[in-house]
Amino acid sequence: MKILILSHTRRVSNFKIGSHHYANGLSNTDEVEYMGLPYTFLHKIAGKKNDGVDQLNEKVKDLKAVFLLPITLRKNTLIINLNKIYLKAYFCFNRDYFDCIICDSPYFSAYIDIIPHGKLIYRPTDIYEKMDGEKINEYEEDILDKCDAIIATSDVVLKYLTDKYYTILERKTKNVVYNGYDEFLFNTLNAPQKREGAIYIGALDKRFDFEALDILASSFPDDKFDIYGPVDPEFKQKVDNISMKRKNILFHGAVSYEQTPELLKKHCVGLLLLKDNYLNRGRSPMKLWEYISCGLSVLYGVVEVEDKYKKINALVKYKCIEDLPQKYLIAKESYRIKENINLKEHSWTFKVNQIKELLITKQC
């Protein structure tokens, strides 16, 4: 099977996200090409950076089509037609046919028809309207109308779309496959006997709850809180202020994906301090399983967890800011409780097999 993955995140990125993982996984058995949101001529003029590390293996090829202008602008027929000229030229010289396109970004919707393909699978990862505003709705409605099936990353995202676009989705095949974790990278092998403190690895932006972090650090001045990840420029001043005020919070900056297990294994508690808003609701709990697989307990808030896992001692949920200190203490103690947790069904090997099964059966 020849598969094209169109994603909201480019191949070169500071984060390894779901589409990177299943692109790598599917490439073990199928021919896979990949394209993230195009880095265009206008991006270069505006000084936008295209930095990070290559998150895909060498078997995953690039779709090297060129776009003149960004595809994430408010829908504009002139811009779309200009981009289509370049895309049509690419496929005139590269007569590719894809058995399946998996797309997680609505912004590609205007260009799907130019790409020779069989099935189109839409894989929404977030409630996009809450991230990009109403401009994305026209794109999303279009891709929902064009797609053969939906494989959402959470029940929350699928329910939101079903409620909003009921007349379209009632005639579509709908599935949910959560993102997974890399079981070959995240484990307790060679973990030090002595662990201490808490850790967060991820973006520091409007999703992250800085107030929650500040409360924990002030409540537990003897505990160290190691925070890894790139800082959104909008929050740089906030990070600087917290660093000055709380000496037990250390902001280390971005780290490579391959470094994360080694860092996790040095700590007792993994933090998922995410704001309780629409940006975080429906988030697939990939990071949660990465933390647990490295032997940490997890203090989390709004991440969606299946009911059957809520009784696991290592998973400690807080419901509000006032809840945090008590729940953090429980998480610290839970780390010492050894549990036999079967994470097989959360591995990317399992998730990729689920996706592949849906692609080759009539369920998509």
CATH no. for residue 294? 3.40.50.2000
In a domain, 169, yes or no: yes
If asked whether residues 333 and 356 sit together in one domain, one would say: no
If asked whether residues 226 and 130 sit together in one domain, one would say: no
pLDDT(364) > 70: no
If asked whether residues 354 and 301 sit together in one domain, one would say: no
Q: How many domains does the chain have?
A: 2
If asked whether residues 147 and 227 sit together in one domain, one would say: no
Nearest to 260 by CA among 250, 270, 274: 270
If asked whether residues 43 and 137 sit together in one domain, one would say: yes
In a domain, 246, yes or no: yes
d(CA 242, CA 250) in angstroms, rounded, equals 9
- For 309-327, write each residue's pLDDT tens digit: 777 888 999 999 999 999 9
Share of the chain above pLDDT 70, in %: 98
pLDDT at 340: 72
Contact present, 18 and 5 (Cβ < 8 Å): no
If asked whether residues 30 and 167 sit together in one domain, one would say: yes
In a domain, 186, yes or no: no
If asked whether residues 300 and 352 sit together in one domain, one would say: no
Q: What DSSP line would sit under 172-183, residue for residue? A: SEEEE----B-T
pLDDT at 363: 60
If asked whether residues 150 and 211 sit together in one domain, one would say: no
In a domain, 190, yes or no: no
In a domain, 227, yes or no: yes
Type of residue at 302: V
- Mean pLDDT for the chain overall: 93
If asked whether residues 169 and 245 sit together in one domain, one would say: no
If asked whether residues 256 and 161 sit together in one domain, one would say: no
In a domain, 192, yes or no: no
Domain that holds residue 291: 198-341
If asked whether residues 146 and 282 sit together in one domain, one would say: no
In a domain, 185, yes or no: no
d(CA 164, CA 211) in angstroms, rounded, equals 32
- For 84-116, write each residue's pLDDT tens digit: 999 999 998 888 899 999 999 999 999 999 999
Nearest to 67 by CA among 96, 89, 97, 92: 89
pLDDT(279) > 80: no
Q: Which of 185-194, 276-285, 328-337 has the highest mean pLDDT?
A: 185-194
Task: Give the pLDDT mean for 150-165.
Answer: 96
- Enclosing H/E stretch for 62: strand 61-62
- For 62-91, write each residue's pLDDT tens digit: 998 989 999 999 999 999 999 999 999 999
Q: What DSSP line would sit under 334-353, residue for residue? A: HTTS------GGGBHHHHHH
Side by side, the strands of the sheet bearing 31-36 are: 61-62, 31-36, 2-7, 98-103, 117-122, 149-152, 173-176
Residues facing residue 136 across a β-bridge: none
Phi, psi for residue 93 in degrees, rounded to 5:
-90, -20
Task: Give the pLDDT mean for 227-254.
Answer: 96
If asked whether residues 166 and 211 sit together in one domain, one would say: no
Q: Token pair for residue 210? A: 């800085």
In a domain, 188, yes or no: no
Instruction: Give the predicted TM-score (pTM) of the model.
Output: 0.91
Q: Are strands 149-152 and 173-176 parallel, antiparallel or unpaired?
A: parallel
d(CA 153, CA 122) in angstroms, rounded, equals 10
